Structure 1
Amino acid sequence: MGRSAELDRMAMTVLQPGFEGTTPPAWLRRALADGLGGAVLFTRNLADPGQTAALVAALREDNPAVVVAVDEEGGAITRLEARTGSSWPGNLALGVAGDVRLTRAVAHQIGRLLAAADITLDYAPVVDVNADPRNPVIGVRSFGSDPERVARHAVAWIEGLQSAGVAACAKHFPGHGDTVTDSHVALPTVRAPRDVLERRDLVPFRAAVAAGVDAIMCGHLVVPALDPELNPATLSRAMMTGLLRDELGFGGLVVTDAIEMRAVASLHPPEEIAVRALAAGADAICVGVSSPEGESVYALRDAIAAAVRDGRLPGERLAEAAGRVLDLARRHAEQAPARAAAGVAEGGANGDGLGLAAATAALRAVGVPGATSRPVLRTAPLVVEMTARPTQAVGRAAPVRVGAAIEEALPGTTLVEVAEGGSLPDLTDTRRPLVVVVRDAARHTWIRRLLEHAVRARPDAVVVETGVPGTPAGAVYLATYGASAASARAAARWLTEIP
């Protein structure tokens, strides 16, 4: 098969690259005119709601059918509210709250936020079962460790988001929860046998497919029980086609996780990853980072087209993939009335209303001796916050500070941040209450060591855990099950207000 404009256009249709800047660069506009089927928005692209909507509109000027995607999970993973923290609690908080109606309502509000910007596809929800508490990249992004609970909340989240006219994307197939490796930095392996995968990891994905999820994102992970040849799921025909398509019956869009992640980038060049992923059954190739002039995007296009001409990638497979991208774009256009009816999400960036209520429903406290002891804080405290460096999934989001929320309620609060390698401030002034805020202390030795020291020095300390809880510590131990602005505000109100 010789070179053709039609083949090049199909090869462009299956790409979803990121880009730099808050307006479309010239190369991106040229690529959209050449048939580029998608674009991914990151924090670096977004300033405020008005600018976000204008950016999406500008992308659509050059290709009205472009699939505009974003990571907006709620909780710690937010792009549209990265500067303030999400107005909505994340998955683990929703799972702990345990009310699928609440989960559906929160996802619908996130959908309204995205619908107001005319965004097509949300790379959410995470439906991984967090089977290993040491997991460095899933954790609070999961609805929990019980497969049935994860499935129920996954379905509610999908229904809520898609009811606002925005496509949901269940991730990370076939399940990233039973790993201790972050696929951003290395290739994880899930070593569970097939029967365990069936009753644990695959349960939420089966439920998502049955619920009509529009898209599924594959994970960069090896699962020997599903592919004895040890291909990562992204490159595995056994998992992408044999399991997801043929066995689970999924007919929607399959998108890869970002192909520059080290889990797969350490195995092959990006062009080879793209070709192999499409051959395995993927429909859209997510590329988080592009070269400044877009050469990398055109290199991917050329490699895909060349693979078709050489017979390595069947032309009908590429046509099928491009068709699914265009089908999602068509359905997005048809759902314009639903998005118009949804309007802008209530609460917006201030987190009042539903987001705060949902975050409050997830709070769990240990050690409160009785209702008469509340509010726990009556005077301005010393707040010491210890947080490890965020994962790449969090991106460039500003850290959410519980201490800042406490300071709003109790002016005069002193805030001290302690990073790895740092030391605690002077804790000897017992006239001031002490609050120690940690995230995933159970996973980080340095946080756990400093927390133990703080509680020994001040047995009256209030401890707030914003990650996956471990062993309770302090006179009061409050778990938020997530690090959103909504959860920080809920914790501060719980500590400072009379119930």
Structure 2
Amino acid sequence: MGLDPGLRRLALGTLLAAYAGPVPPDWAVDLLADGLAGHTLFGTNVHDPAQLAASTAALRAGRPDVILAIDEEGGDVTRLAHATGSPYPGNAALGAVDDPDLTRAVYAAIGAELAAVGITLDLAPTVDVNTADENPVIGTRSFGADPKRVAVHSAAAVAGLQSVGVAACAKHFPGHGATVADSHHELPTVDVPPAVLRERDLPPFAAVIDAGVRAVMTAHIRVPALTADGPATFSRAVLHDLLRVEYGFTGTVITDALEMKGAALAAGGVGPAAVRALAAGADLLCIGAQVDADLVELVAAEIVGALGDGRLARARVEEAAGRTAALAGWSGPADAPPPAADDLGYAAALRAVHVEGDLPGPAPALVVQVHATSTVAEGRVPWGLGPHLAAGVEQARAVAGETDPAALRRLAGQRPVVLVGRHLHRLPGARELVEALAATHPVTVVEMGWPGDWRPTGARAFVATYGASHANGHAAARVLGLTD
């Protein structure tokens, strides 16, 4: 016996699915006609602007008011430019420049690119306050470690996106910046009283709510004082009492991907996670990236089953579907966006570069890039100085903990070394490699991740780019005199 058609449509109206490849499969379009709220697009869905625009048009044929979402933060998290790296710096670089007008302009430019290819919802900005240098998942995605600065830039980013008709989604409520674990792989804990959250983590959310942000994304983090043993995504105390009542948010609450371990493991699967999130007060459920028709139907069936056995009240699901429909129907201002300057992102990244110490002179240098893995959020996006180096500048690669510093010294000869890395302070073996090389050789360190407090002993200079986007790499190479 099949699901009640009305209840199935109601359940589908709370779901954000996904599909693989550059062409939407038939099921992805058909489910939209059946009431599915929309899809999240990932790098695997993006080849070029013309192809992406064709994909969104095909999806919109399934239903005109479909929500088409993407994680386009600029900086280290990009889907539009996943093959090359973003032409815009990310939040950490914008926070380092500390020019809210620039932040607004960069996000308006990103939004204009999204609108041109048919995207309606940007799952950005990240408004977490990155107070933990060891944070493995936020880092350069944050505007900084100061709540006031993050609040100002978060509001500017929302204003920029929404000024061009793309809805913004501030994330990750109630704040992922103090964690030292990645919620893609486990359930992080932030064991502080609510008063600390209000002072440290929540000011940016208050600022974006005042700025009219259309959506807020939940965090799969545990805050024992509020969430007991589960994540915030499943906590009515967080999603209703704190976000809705205390902070007055009236827009759409979107979950982080329910396939993430921080949610799925806590609930016993994506279907039960969807029910718990709805019960807590979430409106639009992001299933994740690994989605097919069977999984969507399974989640919808779990929601319908919960309506039948009392785990969910129909009024709660109707409320969620209504808020999701309101987000889908939002079109933003009528004014056409001004054209963005071609070099906006690169100029912004150049302003963010911070140099400590004495840079090497014009003599040729050996550029050494230290291997670094990427997070699930970032994906495998190219980074470094390589694409920007002048002809004749030699580049080598090193693996922290494996590469012999003596071998790099022999390769460099009389040349200074420019050592490029990401999050060197928390990469096993990286500190030892840098400092062993710097003990006998002139070394400039270029940190393209979150810089932290560590500075390598013996290095002649330390250069922080506050991100590893294409724009950041270009800016660093220019500052170091390594470009043509």
Change over 3 Å in CA distance of 1:456–1:404 after alignment to 2: farther
Q: What residue identity is the alignment partner of 1:485?
A: H
2:440 and 2:257 map into 1 onto residues whose CA distance is 45
- 4+ residue runs of structure 1 moved beyond 4 angstroms? 343-346
1:191 aligns with 2:176: no
1:377: how far off?
A: 4.9
Matches within 5 A, 1:96-115: 96-115=96-115
Residue correspondences, number: 475
1:344 and 1:310 map into 2 onto residues whose CA distance is 53
Q: What residue identity is the alignment partner of 1:80?
A: L
1:230: how far off?
A: 2.7
1:389-427 per-residue CA deviation (whole Å, 9 max, x = no partner) reads: 1111112x422121331x2xx211112122355314432
2:361 and 2:72 map into 1 onto residues whose CA distance is 33
Deviates further, 303-312 or 214-223: 303-312
Give yes or no for contact 1:404–1:415 (8 Å, CA) kept in 2.
no
Deviates further, 426-435 or 116-125: 426-435
1:203 aligns with 2:186: no
Residue of structure 1 in register with 2:397 after alignment: 417
Give yes or no for contact 1:113–1:345 (8 Å, CA) kept in 2.
no
Q: What residue identity is the alignment partner of 2:37?
A: G
2:455 and 2:344 map into 1 onto residues whose CA distance is 28
Give yes or no for contact 1:467–1:482 (8 Å, CA) kept in 2.
yes
Change over 3 Å in CA distance of 1:494–1:127 after alignment to 2: same
Change over 3 Å in CA distance of 1:291–1:141 after alignment to 2: closer
Residue of structure 2 in register with 1:225 after alignment: 225
Matches within 5 A, 1:275-290: 275-290=275-290
Residue of structure 2 in register with 1:388 after alignment: 372
Identity of aligned residues (%): 47
Give yes or no for contact 2:393–2:482 (8 Å, CA) kept in 1.
no
Matches within 5 A, 1:131-170: 131-170=131-170
2:197 and 2:214 map into 1 onto residues whose CA distance is 23
2:177 and 2:426 map into 1 onto residues whose CA distance is 15
Residue of structure 1 in register with 2:445 after alignment: 463
Residue of structure 2 in register with 1:475 after alignment: 460
For the residue of structure 1 that corresponds to 2:446, the secondary structure is strand
Residue of structure 2 in register with 1:350 after alignment: none
Residue of structure 1 in register with 2:480 after alignment: 495
Give yes or no for contact 2:226–2:235 (8 Å, CA) kept in 1.
no
Residue of structure 2 in register with 1:342 after alignment: 337
2:289 and 2:106 map into 1 onto residues whose CA distance is 30
For structure 2, which runs of at least 5 residues remain unmatched after alignment?
none
1:177 and 1:291 map into 2 onto residues whose CA distance is 28
1:139: how far off?
A: 0.8
1:377 and 1:398 map into 2 onto residues whose CA distance is 31
The CA RMSD measured in Å over matched residues stands at 1.8
Matches within 5 A, 1:444-463: 444-458=427-441, 460-463=442-445
Q: What residue identity is the alignment partner of 1:298?
A: E
- What TM-score do you get using the length of structure 2 for normalisation? 0.95
Matches within 5 A, 1:264-283: 264-267=263-266, 268-283=268-283
2:337 and 2:208 map into 1 onto residues whose CA distance is 23
1:295-342 per-residue CA deviation (whole Å, 9 max, x = no partner) reads: 00011111111211222111111111111111111113x65x44xx22
- What TM-score do you get using the length of structure 1 for normalisation? 0.92
Q: What residue identity is the alignment partner of 1:494?
A: V
Give yes or no for contact 1:168–1:214 (8 Å, CA) kept in 2.
yes
Q: What residue identity is the alignment partner of 2:143?
A: F
1:377 and 1:288 map into 2 onto residues whose CA distance is 49
Residue of structure 1 in register with 2:383 after alignment: 400
Q: What residue identity is the alignment partner of 1:177?
A: G
1:119 aligns with 2:119: yes
Residue of structure 2 in register with 1:260 after alignment: 259
For structure 1, which runs of at least 5 residues remain unmatched after alignment?
348-352
For the residue of structure 2 that corresponds to 1:416, the secondary structure is strand
Deviates further, 211-220 or 423-432: 423-432
1:143: how far off?
A: 0.7
Residue of structure 1 in register with 2:314 after alignment: 315
1:45 and 1:422 map into 2 onto residues whose CA distance is 36
Give yes or no for contact 2:400–2:427 (8 Å, CA) kept in 1.
no
Change over 3 Å in CA distance of 1:377–1:297 after alignment to 2: farther
Match of 2:423 among 427, 436, 440: 440
1:102: how far off?
A: 0.8
1:430: how far off?
A: 3.5
Give yes or no for contact 1:181–1:188 (8 Å, CA) kept in 2.
yes
1:52: how far off?
A: 1.0
For the residue of structure 2 that corresponds to 1:76, the secondary structure is coil
1:242: how far off?
A: 1.0
1:488 and 1:291 map into 2 onto residues whose CA distance is 34
Deviates further, 380-389 or 52-61: 380-389
1:234: how far off?
A: 0.6
Matches within 5 A, 1:324-335: 324-332=323-331
1:21 and 1:420 map into 2 onto residues whose CA distance is 35
For the residue of structure 2 that corresponds to 1:169, the secondary structure is strand
Change over 3 Å in CA distance of 1:95–1:404 after alignment to 2: same
1:71 and 1:490 map into 2 onto residues whose CA distance is 24
Residue of structure 2 in register with 1:300 after alignment: 299
2:108 and 2:353 map into 1 onto residues whose CA distance is 22
1:111: how far off?
A: 0.6
Give yes or no for contact 2:400–2:433 (8 Å, CA) kept in 1.
no
1:378 aligns with 2:378: no
